[in-house]
Structure 1
Amino acid sequence: MVKIQDLLHRRTDLSTFLVHLSRDGGPGHSARENLISILAAGQITAGNPLGPARELEPVLEGTGVTQRVVCLTETPLEHVWMMLEQIEGRQVQFAPYGLATTKVAARVAGANPVWYTDMTKYGRTWPLSYMNDLVEQACARATVDGELRPTLLANEPFLRIAPYFETMGPTNGPGLNKEFWWEREWRMVGDYHLGNPKRWMALLAPEADHESLRADIAEIDADPGWAKRPILDPYWGLERMLAELAEVNPDYIGPFTSR
């Protein structure tokens, strides 16, 4: 008799970790700078509103209820590099900077897996239709004298879980499909407070930038524990990552001598 935990630890297609990747955000806001800002602020700020009720975000502003989320992926660490490729039909381009935490730490913080709903031609339009109905019904109940009342809308239970839904299937673009369920996305509604740096297994950055990045992190007004966290290159293989996490002397890493 074995425990399910013991079995799942040997499933190489299931990751124990969740990764948040940063991206460039315009002039003066590179992915690298955004990562440093995250560490300095002690939180990942929720970005775009997502889910079937995302269009209601302007109405919800100031109510304490939001459709804005922080996104993570449970892609195995040795496959994170795939998230950095330029993929046809994708609107977001990530950079090789970010953070990795465990699923347990993320669950304690309040993150949850995304619920994907099929909207392909194979008769699976009903989940999306029902979700849209729930949004419309919530708006109808929150409308008084022809005016949508933010406070009433914020009290609608469905809007608390709507950000966790995502669709997969055809998009409005010609021949394009929104098939990113393979990312196994998790979401945190609202800002993600980082807490103790030890809740995060590692930082992510290109190998050539590790020394410089660590020095820059040590200079910011943040928990000094961040400068001590391991830094992994997303393009490394799993064995190279393990060597870094185990703090193996760099001279002894790899199949060949360095001298």
Structure 2
Amino acid sequence: MPSIEDLLHRRTDLSAFVVHFTRTTARATASENLKAMLDDRVIEARSVFGMAARLAEKYEVIADTQRTVCFTETPLEHAWMMCEKIPNRTMSFSGYGLAFTRTFARRMGANPVWYLDITPGHDWLTGPINNMVSDVEKIAGDPFKGGADAAAEADVLRLTPFIEQMGAPLGRRKEFWWEREWRHVGDFDFRFGHLVVVFAPEEEHDEFEEHMREIKVKGRLPSLVDASWGLERMIAALAQVSEPGPFPE
């Protein structure tokens, strides 16, 4: 009788990996940001996410508890979807990123995002969360109760970075549950040995391989793949096949 592990490894709709894609920011391009992550072996948690985001905008000490690193559980062969231009999406990714096993991500404290339905009339989940965040806001604004420093210790703020919403209550649809997002609160540290693959456009693979050879301390170099490749092309890269085809060079 097969174990649950054996069965799950045959589920092509599930992924054993999580992927973090970089993006172009005011400070650097997506390519430069990926190189910086490889240099430092850390993905910095720079952005606030979750149902306490509005409160975090008012108090920096609370923002520090809500900054996360985001991943997608999308199977590697479907990673290209995450780099497409999608209406109403606030983030734009360019095919540069890092993949880790879900086992490693969980060990480091990453967790799947919980999506709550905000369809009009479906407030039995979002209502209680919003009420708890409002209670925290009252503490933050009351110096006699400890102010923002005391509010930042509230239990609900340990949960809110992992909670998002889905629905279209005001006519603007927010439906990103299909990304199967995972998050890690705070910076995400790793070593080269923890990397499954590095994503970069194929024409930049030689450049990235040279960069990794320059900064590698010891151990194997991770394989480079292009997010636009199909599964078999990725397998060929992981197996270091010299002529993946389909035609002779």
Give your verdict on TM over 0.5. Answer: yes
**Residue 247 of structure 1 pairs with residue 240 of structure 2:** yes
User: How far off its partner does 1:58 sit?
Assistant: 5.1
In structure 1, give the amino acid aligned to 2:231: L
Write the distance in 1 (CA, Å) between the matches of 2:235 and 2:199: 14
**Residue 29 of structure 1 pairs with residue 47 of structure 2:** no
In structure 2, give the amino acid aligned to 1:10: R
Write the distance in 1 (CA, Å) between the matches of 2:146 and 2:85: 41
In structure 1, give the amino acid aligned to 2:131: D
Number of residues of Structure 1 aligned to a counterpart in Structure 2: 249
In structure 1, give the amino acid aligned to 2:198: L
What is the DSSP-based 3-state SS (H/G/I as helix, E as strand, rest coil) of the residue aligned with 1:129?
Answer: helix
Large movers: runs of 4+ above 4 Å: 62-65, 145-148
User: How far off its partner does 1:117 sit?
Assistant: 0.3
User: How far off its partner does 1:213 sit?
Assistant: 1.7
Give CA-to-partner distance per residue, 1:217-246, whole Å, 9 cap, x none. Answer: 334xx4435982100100010001011111
Counterpart in 2 of 1:13? Answer: 13
In structure 2, give the amino acid aligned to 1:182: W
Q: Is the 8 A contact 1:171 1:178 kept in 2?
A: no
User: How far off its partner does 1:134 sit?
Assistant: 0.8
Query: Residues 56 and 214 of structure 1: is their aligned pair in 2 closer, same or farther, counting only changes over 3 Å?
Result: same
1:234 to 224, 227, 230: 227
Structure 2: which 5+ residue stretches go unaligned?
none
Query: Residues 97 and 118 of structure 1: is their aligned pair in 2 closer, same or farther, counting only changes over 3 Å?
Result: same
Q: Is the 8 A contact 1:113 1:187 kept in 2?
A: yes
Write the distance in 1 (CA, Å) between the matches of 2:48 and 2:218: 31
Q: Is the 8 A contact 1:217 1:227 kept in 2?
A: no
In structure 2, give the amino acid aligned to 1:257: P
Q: Is the 8 A contact 1:218 1:227 kept in 2?
A: no
Write the distance in 2 (CA, Å) between the matches of 1:17 and 1:149: 40
Write the distance in 2 (CA, Å) between the matches of 1:227 and 1:85: 31
User: How far off its partner does 1:64 sit?
Assistant: 9.6
User: How far off its partner does 1:60 sit?
Assistant: 5.2
In structure 2, give the amino acid aligned to 1:160: R
2:212 to 209, 213, 217: 217
Identity, % of aligned positions = 43
> Within 5 Å, which residues of 2 pair with 1:141-220?
141-145=139-143, 149-170=147-168, 172=170, 175-194=171-190, 196-219=191-214
Query: Residues 154 and 32 of structure 1: is their aligned pair in 2 closer, same or farther, counting only changes over 3 Å?
Result: same
Write the distance in 2 (CA, Å) between the matches of 1:119 and 1:132: 12
